[in-house]
Structure 1
Amino acid sequence: MRTNPQGSQTQLAPTAAQTTRDNPWPLSLLTANIKKYVNRMSPLWVSGQVVEYKKRPGARMAFFVLRDADQSTSMTVKCWPTVLDSLGTSFSEGAQVVVHAKPDFYEGSGSLSLMANEVHAVGVGNLLAQIEELRKKLAAEGLFAQENKQPLPVIPRRIGLIVGRNAKAKQDVMVNALARWPLAEFEVREVAVQGPTCAGEVTRALKDLDGIPQVEVIVISRGGGAVEDLLPFSEESLVRAAALARTPLVSAIGHEEDAPLLDFVADYRASTPTDAARRIVPDFQEESLGLQGACSRLRTQMLALLDQHLGQLAQLRARPVLADPSAVIAAQEHSLALESQRLRFRFETQLENQLTSLNGWRDALKAYSPQGILERGYSILRSPSGGVINSVSQVTKGDLLEAIFADGTAVTKVFGTNQKKA
């Protein structure tokens, strides 16, 4: 039963699903029901990484925060101090542990925690075995494939550097890189390079630098350390972030054996921070010498090519046409004059022959023309109507006819006809 604002009592909903806007549960009832549900849960084993722990001598209870590194999920664990005393120095922030605990819900603050009765540190061997399983899994997904590797820029505009706070690795990379290439520029992100916050801080720094267009290569450097200290560089979340980076990545964690998984996904694995510095920038002195050598070879080749063309030019100048052009022109003028005379003679000869032939044709045409016939003594008779008389049968006695001669005409009269017999 609950009392509403009007002072009357109403029946509370028996289940959470039956609550309404007008008939809600009091918060205390909700927390009481959650506690009942949690209390019914059985103890269980959970694993994770210790991220917060401060030993308080004389305290009745010990508290630490357990985190799932891959999912960034955390929960407070409480236990009797004697549970942790048996672990000694192996229990500290960053340690991987397995906890046997029962979930516990505190109604006052509505918080869920674990009440542990056993805490065991996970051995390095077990952790390395887990890393090996993860390596096989990521390799099967193609994260370490050689075809995914990006080439490093020859001369990067700016270098992204992820290192520990006040770490020697920072100086190793920057001093050696600047000694090789004085114009090198750095975008530095200082992070935790071991411990429970390492993977998260490195991942955030990597994503930050990957988003800067001027940064053309990123170096993650630590400079070696114990296997346990390097475990964060094998966490799945960091390795996947490195695989997704668009900027070429250099891993300089510096552990030859039991290499962290970051080495496998990086585009280049440097054995030391100094090695990384040598890889990301060229050596100015070497490049200068190489450039001088290239310039010297180019000069030699250009001089040889110039000598070759000068020799060819000298040969051309030695030819008669270039040595004395007027002599060549005079010779050509003489040849042209002779050829002109020959052409004129052939033309005149052909013209004379054509004129002779034309005169012959003219005489022949004149001889066979009517006028020519008349000049040879013939004449033409025409009737008064103008018709040509070409037969004796066309005339009769007494007809007047016109006689046409070569030099004129006359009128004649027919006094008689004489027809030839066939």
Structure 2
Amino acid sequence: MPPAAKAADTTRENPWPLRRLTQNIKIYVDRMSSLWVEGQVVQYNPRPGSRMAFFTLRDTESDTSMTVTAFPNVISAVGAGFEEGVKVVTRVKPVFWERSGSLNLQAAEVHLQGLGDLLAQIERLRQKLAAEGLFDERRKKPLPFLPRIIGLVCGRNAKAKDDVIVNASARWPAARFEVREVAVQGQYAVREVSDAIAELDQIPEVDVIVVARGGGSVEDLLPFSDEALVRAAAAASTPLVSAIGHEGDAPLLDYVADFRASTPTDAARRIVPDLAQELEGLAGASQAMRNAIERRLTQERHHLDLVVSRPIFLTPAATLEPHRVLIDSAVTNLRSRIERRLSEERQGIVQASATLRALSPQATLERGYSMLKLPSGELVRDASQVPKGTLVEGILASGRLVAQVVGSTQATDSAAPANE
């Protein structure tokens, strides 16, 4: 059966070979004339030395985009302003590739139309949020030294996930992660990333949140400059690390994040300490403390040796010697004074004894006198006390006697007048 002449004549029993379709599409596309189109350059990777340049042109009011090829001289003619984000108008010819079945545009001329609308919108939003203070350094929270759990927001089966987990675990093997795999580009990215940040922020053990994506075109990174996502990140109470793209990428999430990591690998180095380095630091600190203690002990031992070597410690009694001399002198002086006083008092007693002895009745008796006492013990002082026959006791200087009075005479007063 001969193949159908027209596409409308094909049936299930008489289909076209795929090559017939691609041939016809190519014929139709080749008949199209060159035309001028406008759009925004959302992806451009310069390849020095390449025979052909490639960039992606996107419609500014929809998600429609196409690959554009151009000879290097066409791009160089544009000037230094040709880069991702600029808006251009270009004269192109549609080209269909039969083997791959792909359609692209080949540019013959490219002219700049100024900064792309998307970048202009992002810049206006950046200025607005900055005026609100969302990017102030005072709002930024310090990262914990060692988070209990690391919250990770990343793409599904993305390399950025492995970059963070593998590198962080290599630095701190005990690191724990709470991972939320979400869309990181496209129409669902803003909502899913925002929800993941809010969900991780509600987990008390999550001490830091990392939002990671391994770079991409300006178009791919647009969700991370969306106002809703930026405000969701600003509302999180948990410290947040932005690890979007590479060194040159700077979505608005970088401005509001508490820390901006240049890459997911850089984020892994920032969120956990290096165990080997910390152990080395601890060992160094321990050795420094040990050396400091040994130095202090050596100093104190030296001071103690100096103290012990002083004469007061070598001969403790030496401090008592001056006091002992004073006490001995005082005792000697006291003894001398006591002896003098005793001698004086002894001499006084001797004199008093001699005087007492001289005045005592015994001394009178020893001079030849005697005393008489009545039986009542009363001394006889007057002859009238002893009438005749009275017994009296005589006390002599040596011994006593008893006598009886045989007579007595009254004493006469020689001083009395003669006529008396």
Q: Please, what TM-score do these two structures have when normalized by structure 2?
A: 0.52
Larger Rg, first or second structure (1 or 2): 2
Question: How big is the shift at 1:329?
Answer: 3.6
In the alignment, what sits opposite 2:128? 137
In the alignment, what sits opposite 1:90? 65
In the alignment, what sits opposite 1:324? 315
Q: 8 Å contact 1:124–1:228 — kept in the other structure?
A: no
Residue in structure 2 matching 1:222, options 184, 208, 213: 213
In the alignment, what sits opposite 1:417? none
In the alignment, what sits opposite 2:116? 125
Q: 8 Å contact 2:247–2:263 — kept in the other structure?
A: no
Letter in 2 for 1:297: A
Q: 1:132 to 1:338 in 2, by over 3 A?
A: same
The superposition leaves residues 339-365 of structure 1 with CA deviations (integer Å, 9 ceiling, x where unpaired) of: 455578799999xxxxxxxxxxxxxxx
Consecutive unaligned residues in structure 2, runs of 5 or more: 1-58, 67-113, 342-420
Question: How big is the shift at 1:238?
Answer: 0.9
In the alignment, what sits opposite 1:308? 299
CA distance in 1, matches of 2:338, 2:125: 106
Q: 1:346 to 1:127 in 2, by over 3 A?
A: farther
1:146 aligns with 2:137: yes
The superposition leaves residues 386-419 of structure 1 with CA deviations (integer Å, 9 ceiling, x where unpaired) of: xxxxxxxxxxxxxxxxxxxxxxxxxxxxxxxxxx
In the alignment, what sits opposite 1:281? 272
Q: 1:141 to 1:339 in 2, by over 3 A?
A: farther
1:209 aligns with 2:200: yes
CA distance in 2, matches of 1:228, 1:220: 18
In the alignment, what sits opposite 1:199? 190
Letter in 1 for 2:276: Q
CA distance in 2, matches of 1:235, 1:211: 22
The DSSP-based 3-state class of the residue aligned with 1:150 is coil
Q: 1:333 to 1:130 in 2, by over 3 A?
A: same
CA distance in 1, matches of 2:337, 2:120: 112
Question: How big is the shift at 1:291?
Answer: 1.4
Q: 1:344 to 1:279 in 2, by over 3 A?
A: farther
CA distance in 2, matches of 1:192, 1:175: 21
Q: 1:292 to 1:88 in 2, by over 3 A?
A: closer
Consecutive unaligned residues in structure 1, runs of 5 or more: 1-83, 92-122, 351-422
Q: 8 Å contact 1:254–1:270 — kept in the other structure?
A: no
Equivalences for residues 21-420 of structure 1 within 5 A:
89-90=64-65, 125-339=116-330, 341=332
Q: 8 Å contact 2:164–2:268 — kept in the other structure?
A: yes
Count how many residue pairs are aligned between Structure 1 and Structure 2: 238
CA distance in 1, matches of 2:63, 2:165: 39
Q: 1:308 to 1:339 in 2, by over 3 A?
A: farther
Q: 1:324 to 1:235 in 2, by over 3 A?
A: same
Q: What is the alpha-carbon root mean square deviation over aligned residues?
A: 3.1
CA distance in 2, matches of 1:233, 1:348: 114
Q: 1:88 to 1:336 in 2, by over 3 A?
A: closer
Question: How big is the shift at 1:88?
Answer: 9.4
Write out the 4+ residue segments of structure 1 that deviate beyond 6 Å after TM superposition. 343-350
Letter in 2 for 1:288: L
CA distance in 2, matches of 1:337, 1:207: 94
CA distance in 2, matches of 1:126, 1:304: 69
Q: 1:330 to 1:262 in 2, by over 3 A?
A: same
Q: 1:338 to 1:271 in 2, by over 3 A?
A: same
Percent identical across equivalent pairs? 59
Question: How big is the shift at 1:312?
Answer: 0.9
The superposition leaves residues 89-132 of structure 1 with CA deviations (integer Å, 9 ceiling, x where unpaired) of: 539xxxxxxxxxxxxxxxxxxxxxxxxxxxxxxx9921111111
Question: How big is the shift at 1:299?
Answer: 1.4
Q: 8 Å contact 1:250–1:276 — kept in the other structure?
A: yes
Letter in 2 for 1:174: I
Q: 1:348 to 1:240 in 2, by over 3 A?
A: farther
Letter in 1 for 2:297: L
The superposition leaves residues 234-283 of structure 1 with CA deviations (integer Å, 9 ceiling, x where unpaired) of: 11111011111111110001243352110110011111110000011111
Q: 1:328 to 1:164 in 2, by over 3 A?
A: same
